[in-house]
Amino acid sequence: MGFRRIAAGVVGLSGLLLGTSLQAAPIIEETFTGYLDNALISDSPAGPAMGLTGDWTLVPDSNFYVNKTQVDDSAGTGKAVYDRPSGDNGTREATRATSADHLLFSNDGDLFYASFLIDPALANGRMTFELVLTRLDGGGTPAFSFGIIDGQYTVGNGGIDVDLGDGTVTADEQLVLVRIEYGDADSGPDDSEVVTVWVDPVDESSAPVIDGVSTDFLNRGGGKITAVSIRGEQMAGQPAFFDDLRVGSSFDAVVPNPGATPTPTPGGTPLPTATPGPTPTPTVPPLAGLDRDEQKCVEKMNKAGGKVDKAQLKENERCLKDHQQGKLDGLTVEQCTTADRKGKVAKAEGKTVTDDEKFCTWLNPAPDFGYTGAAAVNEAAVEGPLDLIHAIFGDPLDDASLSTSASSKDTAKCQAEMLKRADKLEDTVLKELVKAKQKAIKEPTVNSAEKLETALVLVLSSNEKITKAQDKLVKSVDKKCESLQALPSAVFPGICADALLDNVEDCVIAAARCVACEKMSTFDGLDLDCDDLDDGEANGSCS
């Protein structure tokens, strides 16, 4: 971190060329963007979605959200969220109508595909994606669903009726994709459907969890899709996330990044489609922002980096607390901050590497901006919290300047509160930067690092949550430190040392903002003006 003490006082916060290959378009695509008030069911219209229309209906009418959870209105999930109160495992099902009756299958051997992205709270919970169908001959309303039920990947005839189940579910974010080869004895040899299910496939040749199993669960007479539903159940009061609902006539249409050459499927014929128009001439798209896969990559890396950052912040706080209680077992506080005694920092760093491999490293080319890779993200996420604790208490940390409960209980409480509130502020600034970035990269005009930087500065010129976190630091530290007998410069001997507590607080606030800003710059390969962001002045305090 390039933060250095300048002066007291804090002021308010002040092109990628798309590839030329044409991906098959999905029939239905819902990404849960554009929901104005973060509720799946609300007074505001539902967000735009390909092939869907109108608002969602929910039975019962509660506990399904977008961009928030039951306890956090600002979670910024970018997903639909099933989140029942703690201890309540009840079912919630949300349904949205299609904009037209889309033909899915009519003849024996026709293929259709569907997928959705899920992040279950529990591996043995229930999350399903249902297609509401109508027979072409008007003979009833069948339904088809797939997803996870009781620890297995399942396919069934509507609702939660399971016809097939296999594989072992994990409580991680994953893409579940199904291919159905329709069976109709009126136009082919038998009535059985052939079902294949993949989890996180690279292409159609990837190993499935349900591999071409025959079963009869769709009615004769063909089918049109008239609505889609998502259902959550049995998550023990923890949030479960749905995203990227897709239905299409090919594998490529329902995956974020299709393989270059999907493996031909034996025995199937292409889906019947509406009367085709003239074949469009491929053209090079105009300059635009990050595509959806690139956005997902950047968002995942920011999220993972934030978790590493939070793990290191908490590690610092535990080290100070254990020092105050005489529980460091021979370690100094400085040694403790990098010892990762419970392995939580390393675990979070491992998730960054996994997410990089899963969402980013296969992109060719890598995103032109907003992405640096797991190594850079992990390094910045650990370094920032260490820089912050050093700014407050000195570099290196000196146990003699850090009080224990036995030597001075009041001073120990004061020091712990300052670190806690500084960490909370740094975490808040980073989260608000990430949220602003996630919004900005969805705009086609944000097509370079420079434009992303501009967008972040504009969005964060005034931020209520950051202001509240700053005010909370001052209020809480004033209260915890009101009984100090020593000078603030002795209690906080880092670069923020000062005889006046107010000046120390202002300096720590600036340091926390500097750390978060520089971290974001490293995460995304940006050149944010962190010197202005930390204290509102271009004075070299964060450079």
> 3-state SS of 12-42?
CCCCECCCCCCCCCCCEEECCCCCCCCECCC
Type of residue numbered 428: T
285: pLDDT strictly greater than 60:
no
- The Cα–Cα gap between 367 and 187 comes to 48
Type of residue numbered 151: G
Show the DSSP H helices in 247-373 as ranges: 292-324, 333-337, 344-359
Residues counted in the chain: 543
Phi/psi for 93 (5° steps) reads -130, 130
Closest to 535 in 3D by CA, of 10, 99, 6? 10
Six token digits for residue 505 = 């607080």
Q: Looking at 233-237, 488-492, 538-542, which range is the least confident one? A: 233-237
Contacts with 515 (C-beta within 8 Å, 6 or more apart), sequence order: 1, 3, 384, 385, 387, 388, 391, 426
| pLDDT on residue 230 | 87
- Axis crossing angle, helix 501-524 with helix 409-440, rounded to the nearest 10: 40
| Ramachandran category for residue 150: left, alpha or beta (phi over 0 → left; psi -120 to 50 → alpha) | left
- The Cα–Cα gap between 293 and 117 comes to 13
- What percentage of residues in the chain have a pLDDT greater than 90? 38
Contacts with 407 (C-beta within 8 Å, 6 or more apart), sequence order: none
- What percentage of residues in the chain have a pLDDT greater than 70? 80
What separation in angstroms does the CA of 148 have from each of 11, 40, 232, 440?
A: 50, 22, 10, 33
Full-model pTM: 0.53
- pLDDT per position as a tens digit, 399-457: 999 999 999 999 999 999 999 999 999 999 998 888 888 888 888 888 899 989 887 87
Strands 92-105 and 111-119: unpaired
327: pLDDT strictly greater than 90:
yes
Type of residue numbered 22: L
| pLDDT on residue 188 | 54
Contacts with 390 (C-beta within 8 Å, 6 or more apart), sequence order: 396, 397, 494
Type of residue numbered 398: D
Phi/psi for 146 (5° steps) reads -150, 165
| pLDDT on residue 11 | 39
Q: Count other Cβ atoms within 10 Å, centred on residue 122.
A: 17
Over residues 223-248, the mean pLDDT reads 84
- pLDDT per position as a tens digit, 450-507: 989 887 876 566 788 899 999 999 999 999 999 888 899 999 999 999 989 999 999 9
Contacts with 228 (C-beta within 8 Å, 6 or more apart), sequence order: 28, 30, 52, 95, 96, 98, 129, 130, 131, 132, 245, 247
CATH number of 28-254: 2.60.120
Residue 147: in which H helix or E strand, if any? strand 143-149
- The Cα–Cα gap between 36 and 218 comes to 37
**Is the omega angle on the peptide bond into residue 60 within 30 degrees of 0, that is, cis?**
yes
Cβ burial 139-149 (10 Å sphere, 16+ → b, else e)? eeebbbbbbbb
Is 85 within 8 Å of 61 (Cβ atoms)?
A: no
Q: Residue 338: is it exposed, middle or buried by C-beta count within 10 angstroms (0-12/13-18/19+)?
A: middle
Q: Count other Cβ atoms within 10 Å, centred on residue 465.
A: 13
| Rg for the chain, CA atoms, rounded | 27
First to last CA, the chain: 8
- pLDDT per position as a tens digit, 374-392: 999 999 999 999 999 999 9
Q: 466 - beta bridge partners? A: none
- pLDDT per position as a tens digit, 353-370: 999 999 999 888 899 899
